[in-house]
Amino acid sequence: MVAVKIETLEQNPVGMYIYSKMGFQEVARQIHYLKLLDGSVEDRSGKKN
């Protein structure tokens, strides 16, 4: 094995802290978009607009 990959969310500061302390380096970020099928969109707090 040459490398190990772990994924965590930006909303997980504990995971981000622990993984960096274990020697993992951030190499990429990913953005996810969401559209509910009823036409509304949830904001980051989970509330529908």
Work out the pLDDT band at 39, boundaries 50, 70, 90. Answer: confident
**Regarding predicted confidence, which is higher, 47 or 37?**
37
Q: Which ranges in the chain belong to alpha helices (H)? A: 13-21
What is the pLDDT averaged over residues 7-31? Answer: 94
The answer, as to whether pTM is greater than 0.85, is no
Distance CA(43)–CA(49), nearest Å, equals 7
What integer is the mean pLDDT of 32-49?
76
